[in-house]
Structure 1
Amino acid sequence: MRWLVIAVFGAFFGLFLTCGSAWAVNPDEVLSDANLEARARALSAQFRCMVCQNQSIDDSNAELARDLRVLVRERLVNGDSDEAVVNYVVSRYGEFVLLKPRFEGKTLILWGTPILLLAGGAVAMAVYAVRRRVRHEPDPLSAEEQEKLERILRES
């Protein structure tokens, strides 16, 4: 009996994982033209749900995400290009609506920070390694110390 419960739960969980994004887009939103629908899905995957913030509008069930999906589809039906749709949505909601920000002067810090952090870490590790190597190299013996060492070795 326990195995049956586990199997049913596992099947339900697997179905839940595979159908999660299909539940977000309502059937009344789907366009009849398959090419326009494919473009709408591709564009919807690029926009952030302003309510959920870590989901695309294509995956979100929020009302605002639904409104954005409908807006994207309306713009495509009216003949807008993909770039025009993206520019329109960004002009209304700002750059934050894009899940992958554009590479511009405004976002240079956003794109450059990981590179700078990696480069800084590499430089810090190199400096640490050099300082450690220099610190552990013994100083050469002076003539007086060398003579004292030879005398001790001769006596023993």
Structure 2
Amino acid sequence: MKRFAIFLALIVAAPAFADSSLPPSYWANRQLPDARQEAEAKALMEEIRCLVCQGESIADSDADLAADMRDMVRRRIAAGEKPSAIRAWLIQRYGDWITFRPTGKPITWPLWLAPLVLLAGGALLARTRLRARKGS
């Protein structure tokens, strides 16, 4: 019974061990001293998807990984790197999915064209139904 109680205590305490005991990255929750650089960093962080939360940007996420990514973005911008280069590096590393701003690659064209095709099909269907009603 004692072993079972210890086992149960370890199972219940397991989520507590999942949290990082490391302090947050330096620039994770601090702004850059240069307002222009901070604005560039903020705009880029709004475009980048959190790999943990997936529905939030790294600017909005409280995940440790998002904090590390915010730190990385701010450090690279402070070092003089362009936001477009950082975004391109992130896309190369994690794929197109990492960005909330869709790319114009040919593989995504069906996603852009499908709503237009469906709208045109619906309009054509409505037109033929209305003509059929007027004719009868």
Spell out structure 1 runs of 4+ moving beyond 4 A.
none
How large is the Cα RMSD of the aligned pairs? Answer: 1.6
Residue of structure 1 equivalent to 2:97: 96
Shift of 1:26: 4.8
Residue of structure 2 equivalent to 1:69: 70
Residue of structure 2 equivalent to 1:128: 129
**Which of the pair has more CA radius of gyration?**
1
Identity %: 38
Q: Structure 2: any 5+ residue segments left out of the alignment?
A: 1-26
How many residue pairs get aligned? The number is: 110
Q: Secondary structure at the match of 1:45?
A: helix
Report the residue type matching 1:50 in the other structure.
Answer: L
In structure 2, distance between residues paired with 1:109 and 1:67:
34
| Larger relative contact order (CA 8 Å, sep ≥ 6) | 2
Q: Secondary structure at the match of 1:106?
A: helix
Residue of structure 2 equivalent to 1:83: 84
Shift of 1:78: 2.2
In structure 1, distance between residues paired with 2:32 and 2:48:
18
Q: Structure 1: any 5+ residue segments left out of the alignment?
A: 1-24, 137-156
Could you give the per-residue CA deviations for residues 97-150 of structure 1, whole angstroms, max 9, x where no partner exists?
11121122121112222112211111111121122222x1xxxxxxxxxxxxxx
In structure 2, distance between residues paired with 1:46 and 1:74:
17
Is residue 75–residue 85 contact of structure 1 (8 Å, CA) maintained in 2?
A: yes
